[in-house]
Amino acid sequence: MITMILMGPPGAGKGTQAKRLVNKYDIPHISTGDMFREAIKERSELGILAKRYIDDGHLVPDDVTNAIVRERLAKDDCQHGYLLDGFPRTIPQAMALEGITKEINRPVQFVINIDADEKELIRRISGRRVCKVCSTPYHIDTMKPKVENVCDVCGGPLIQRADDNEEALRVRLGHYYEQTRPLLDFYKKSGLLHSFDGTQDLNVLLKQIMSLVEENE
């Protein structure tokens, strides 16, 4: 069983590493951002509520976010592990997660923090494109698809996320530094935190994370 959290500012490369890690370890990829975007596409009640926050770069309220994660982690496919991407993002979410993982008897083993400086984050986010269908991330200069604007994985069209604009990014980074970064201390104290340099080669970073997991599994 492998249970892990991927943390880091927007643009650090969480989504890219998450896709690779879940393939390697055959565990579900639980991205709260993807879950909200899915709900927005479906125009469900959750989607209508979440859109108001997401488009401007604000965080969706904790009670709403905690509830969708509680429901998701209770599903059968999480019995052999999970990878949380983009959750928790606040101290109350981390505390709720402790309760949830106790209930399901599958505590978090690894908190992987991927970091990069602000200039690099802005460069990555402004050139980011994602597959509309499977949300695989690309970059217009450094991670191009084989065929322009077409996803290598599923053939879906590539789009720019509504919140990947300069104004929303500034708000998202503000939330990250004020609300999410304090979680690093929270997890450091519990001995679960492992930090990595997100600016290095993607394959090198993947290998470093996998070595850590495999040495401590």
Which sequence positions are flagged as catalytic? 14, 89, 128, 161, 172
Do you know the residue count of the chain?
217
User: Shortest gap between Cβ of 211 and ligand AMP (angstroms)?
Assistant: 25
Closest contact distance (angstroms) between CB of 164 and ligand AMP is 9
Size of interface with ligand AMP, in residues (CB under 6 A)? 17
Contact track, ligand AMP, 19-38, x by CB under 6 A: -------------xx--x--
Q: Let me know: does 87 contact 93? Beta carbons within 8 Å.
A: yes
Contact between 54 and ligand AMP per CB under 6 A: yes
Q: Does 60 bind ligand AMP (CB under 6 A)?
A: yes
CB of 195: closest distance to ligand AMP in angstroms?
A: 18
- Asked if 26 and 78 count as a contact pair (C-beta separation under 8 A), the reply is no
Cα–Cα distance, 54 to 37 (Å, whole number)? 9
**Cβ-based nearer residue to ligand AMP, 64 or 212:** 64
DSSP 30-95: EEHHHHHHHHHHHT-HHHHHHHHHHTTTPPPPHHHHHHHHHHHHTSGGGTTEEEEES---SHHHHH
Site residues for ligand AMP per CB under 6 A? 10, 32-33, 36, 53-54, 57-60, 65, 86-87, 89, 93, 163, 172
